[in-house]
């Protein structure tokens, strides 16, 4: 038997095991944990992936993997006791504490596995309706590509498989899920369409400041608390004192004071009253006082640098790209919202296996402190 046939057979086998035929009528079929539409996820499939999740969550190489076993968690408790004993912990946890820990581990793993299996079912059932099909040949090709990139030798790949608790069938299923998700997303993004010329022009008109450099001016400036102080400082400069000396003795702005009052400002950067005064003033003319929320300013423009503005033609391509991205994101967000609502209504979960993606799920109530209560 060729390698391709063996891998394809493995994929078919795991899909058959995962997707059992649902019994007629409502409710989750016996021996299953979840029913999505007309297909169900079997309990053996859930337990298989639970073991994989437990293996991937181990923190140390060589650590014994024990899947939490509800409702008594006997094996899990025994494993935690052995781990604590080996670590020679000074405090010995009680069985009740260990059981609580095992229960938390189980709920975390259960949620992780059910989210994966339900998500898989949702995507594989949604994809055909959008003309998305993932063939076994595509899965095999992508699998070989990933395996070759990540594992240069067969021995390294076999070691990974052994340590991860996954089979080739499991890995193929993950590849199929990823390919279907990617293809479906690409299909949805294409529905957004391209922005019109009118939309591009409107965006440019409303966001011109993003495509230009504002005018800049270098000014000498003094800030005072009182108007009378500002007027006095202005008179001192007009009578012959240097702006720098008056700024150092009078200004209450530590930044400009240390520089003799000199600062470069961009149009639109300062408070409106001051900004308008600075950018309408003549060069070399002492102006003010200007009242602001910070106090009173006197200033003199030393030099100016004109602003620049990119034309629509120069930035049209980048605007189109940005608008396309925004429209695609909006289309995908809308799809995801409708997709989740649609498939959640079709997802029934057996008692003890209810997670957020199940139709029966009810969010926990919260008390005034923000703490969730059952």
To which residue do tokens 């992508």 refer?
Answer: 142
Query: How does pLDDT run across 103-141, given as a tens digit for each residue?
Result: 999 999 999 999 999 999 999 999 999 999 999 999 999
Same domain membership, residue 57 and residue 173: yes
Please give the pLDDT value at position 350: 96
- pLDDT band of residue 363 (cuts 50, 70, 90) is confident
Which helix or strand (DSSP H or E) is residue 283 part of?
Answer: none
Q: Which residues pair with 277 in a beta bridge?
A: none
To which residue do tokens 């009182």 refer?
Answer: 226
145, pLDDT greater than 50:
yes
Same domain membership, residue 113 and residue 184: yes
Handedness of CA 122, 123, 128, 130 (dihedral sign): positive
**Domain membership flag for residue 287:** yes
Residue 231 vs residues 17, 282, 286: alpha-carbon distances, Å? 88, 19, 11
Return the structure tokens found at 79: 């494993």
**Domain membership flag for residue 107:** yes
pTM comes to 0.72
| HEC readout, 97-119 | HHHHHHHHHHHHHHHHHHHHHHH
Same domain membership, residue 219 and residue 187: no
Query: How does pLDDT run across 59-84, given as a tens digit for each residue?
Result: 655 568 899 999 999 999 999 988 88
Please give the pLDDT value at position 7: 41
Domain CATH code at residue 277: 3.10.50.40
Same domain membership, residue 368 and residue 229: no
Same domain membership, residue 254 and residue 178: no
Q: Decide if 372 contacts 364 (C-beta within 8 A).
A: yes
**Domain membership flag for residue 204:** no
16, pLDDT greater than 70:
no
Q: Which residues pair with 295 in a beta bridge?
A: 292
CA distance 214 to 265: 10
Residue 217 vs residues 67, 177, 244: alpha-carbon distances, Å? 70, 58, 17
Tell me the DSSP string of 19-56: EEEPPSSSSPPTTEEEEETTEEEEHHHHHHHHHHHHHH
Residues in the chain: 374
Tell me the DSSP string of 121-159: HHHHHHGGGGT----HHHHHHHHHHHHHHH-SSHHHHHH
CA distance 188 to 35: 26
**Domain membership flag for residue 182:** yes
**Domain membership flag for residue 18:** yes
- In three-state secondary structure terms, 74 is helix
CA distance 265 to 69: 68
Query: Considering its fold, how many domains does the chain have in total?
Result: 2
**Domain membership flag for residue 361:** yes
Handedness of CA 145, 149, 113, 370 (dihedral sign): negative
The mean pLDDT of 257-270, rounded to a whole number, is: 94
Per-residue DSSP letter, 93: P
What's the whole-number average pLDDT of the chain?
Answer: 89
Please give the pLDDT value at position 20: 46
CA distance 98 to 8: 43
Higher pLDDT, 2 or 161: 161
Query: How does pLDDT run across 166-180, given as a tens digit for each residue?
Result: 999 999 999 999 999
Please give the pLDDT value at position 356: 95
Same domain membership, residue 184 and residue 222: no
The mean pLDDT of 329-343, rounded to a whole number, is: 97
**Domain membership flag for residue 10:** yes
Q: What percent of the chain has pLDDT over 70?
A: 89
Range of the domain at 229: 215-306
Same domain membership, residue 247 and residue 139: no
Same domain membership, residue 159 and residue 57: yes
**Domain membership flag for residue 206:** no
- pLDDT band of residue 12 (cuts 50, 70, 90) is very low
Same domain membership, residue 267 and residue 134: no
Same domain membership, residue 126 and residue 74: yes
Q: Nearest-CA neighbor of 267 among 309, 206, 217?
A: 217
91, pLDDT greater than 90:
no
349, pLDDT greater than 90:
yes
Cα angle value 98/103/104 (rounded, 5°): 100
Among 274, 306, 338, where does a domain finish?
Answer: 306
- Name 306's Cβ contacts closer than 8 Å, sequence gap at least 6: 215
Q: Which residues pair with 223 in a beta bridge?
A: 297
Query: How does pLDDT run across 37-53, given as a tens digit for each residue?
Result: 999 999 999 999 999 99
- pLDDT band of residue 27 (cuts 50, 70, 90) is confident
């Amino acid at each position: 038997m060729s390698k391709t046939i063996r891998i394809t057979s493995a994929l078919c086998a795991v899909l058959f095991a995962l997707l059992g035929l649902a019994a007629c009528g409502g409710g989750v079929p016996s021996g299953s944990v979840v029913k999505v539409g007309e297909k169900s996820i079997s309990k053996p499939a859930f337990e298989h992936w639970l073991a994989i999740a437990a293996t991937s969550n181990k923190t140390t190489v060589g650590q014994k993997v024990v899947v939490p076993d509800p409702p008594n968690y006997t094996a899990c408790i025994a494993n935690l006791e052995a781990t604590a004993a080996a670590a020679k912990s000074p405090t010995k946890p009680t069985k009740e504490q260990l059981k609580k820990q095992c229960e938390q581990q189980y709920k975390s793993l259960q949620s992780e596995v059910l989210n994966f299996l339900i998500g898989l079912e949702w995507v594989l059932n949604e994809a055909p309706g959008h003309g998305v099909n993932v063939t076994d040949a595509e899965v095999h090709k992508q699998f070989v590509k990933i395996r070759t990139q990540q594992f240069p030798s067969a021995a390294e790949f076999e070691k990974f498989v052994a340590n991860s608790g996954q089979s080739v069938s499991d890995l193929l299923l993950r590849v199929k899920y990823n390919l279907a998700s990617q293809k479906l997303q690409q299909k949805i993004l294409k529905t957004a369409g391209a922005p019109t010329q009118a939309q591009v022009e409107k965006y440019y008109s409303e966001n011109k400041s993003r495509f230009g450099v504002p005018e800049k001016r270098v000014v000498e400036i003094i800030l005072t608390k009182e108007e009378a102080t500002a007027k006095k400082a202005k008179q001192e400069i007009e009578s012959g004192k240097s702006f720098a000396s008056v700024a150092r003795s009078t200004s209450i702005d530590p930044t400009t004071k240390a520089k003799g009052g000199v600062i470069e400002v961009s149009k639109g950067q300062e408070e409106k009253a001051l900004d308008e005064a600075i950018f309408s003033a003549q060069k070399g003319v002492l102006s003010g006082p200007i009242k602001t929320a910070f106090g009173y300013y006197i200033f003199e423009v030393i030099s100016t640098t004109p602003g620049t503005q990119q034309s629509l033609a120069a930035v049209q391509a980048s605007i189109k790209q940005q608008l396309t991205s925004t429209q695609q994101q909006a289309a995908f967000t809308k799809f995801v919202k409708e997709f989740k609502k649609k498939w959640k209504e079709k997802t029934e979960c057996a008692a003890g296996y209810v997670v957020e993606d199940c139709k029966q799920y009810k969010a926990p109530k919260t008390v005034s402190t923000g703490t969730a209560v059952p």
